[in-house]
Amino acid sequence: MPIAEGLKRAVEKLTGIARPRRRTMSGLARPQPPEILRLREDGRTPNNPKLPLVVYRAAVRFGEGCDPATVLEELFEQHGWRRAWRDGVYDFLHFHTGTHEVLGIARGRVTVQFGGPSGPKIALQAADIVVLPAGTGHRRVRASRDLLVVGAYPDGGRYDEPRPDEIELAQARRAIAAAPRPRRDPVYGADGPLMSLWKPALTLRQRQVARSRRSRRRSAAAAKAARA
């Protein structure tokens, strides 16, 4: 399948056949509330201690005459998630320590287990999209024969693909913490739900500054009211 899809992708890029037009891309993403899943380290699979896994159901309209895989590739690239591939999902547990990942279902159905051997199994179908923070364990449990997945990665990350026991957990934790956060949601862009869900926590100093600013605003408002 990867070879055939690679040839198909090359032809589509060369000819423009079955590719959505740029001006129509904004209408292909369907606003959907995110499903959020927080996964803890299980002793072998690191997962991500700070960032949740995010699922968007039926998040894309593929458009008449468009190749669904191409729609997903164009959508992801538009928002800075690149190095796209077309394939399925590996049936062995693995994770990525140096980059986050988005998986879009272009065709078929698949059940994926996230988080490790005891993690939840989530059924996905065409037009569903999953955003995996660095460290998230995942493997295919079952899939339809026509399954096609498009994956991509945000700019600045470093790709790796260890299985549990192929990397020390301490090393994995350090790499996961250093993975750069994306600048945009892969589906909805700069204002997408992912940006607030993955927003970095404020430092102690930042919280103190924010409290000080709120206090000054309240004092100014009280003084203004007293003069009125």
Q: 145-183 pLDDT, tens per residue? A: 999 999 999 999 999 999 999 999 999 999 999 999 999
How many CB atoms within 10 Å of residue 66?
Answer: 19
Cα gap 141→122, rounded to integer Å: 9
Does the predicted TM-score (pTM) go above 0.85?
no
Cα gap 47→128, rounded to integer Å: 21
Q: Is the pLDDT of residue 75 over 50?
A: yes
Question: Who has greater pLDDT, 184 or 219?
Answer: 184
Q: Confidence band (pLDDT; 50, 70, 90) for 215?
A: confident
Query: What tokens appear for 92 in the block?
Result: 């062995």
Q: What is the mean pLDDT of residues 18-38?
A: 78
Q: Is the pLDDT of residue 85 over 60?
A: yes
Q: Confidence band (pLDDT; 50, 70, 90) for 7?
A: low
Give, in degrees to the nearest 5, the angle at Cα 29 between 24 and 33. Answer: 160
- CA torsion angle for 112, 44, 175, 39 (degrees, to 10)? 50
Residue linked to tokens 């993955």? 198
Question: Who has greater pLDDT, 85 or 203?
Answer: 85
Going by the DSSP 8-state scheme, the letter that residue 123 receives in this structure is E
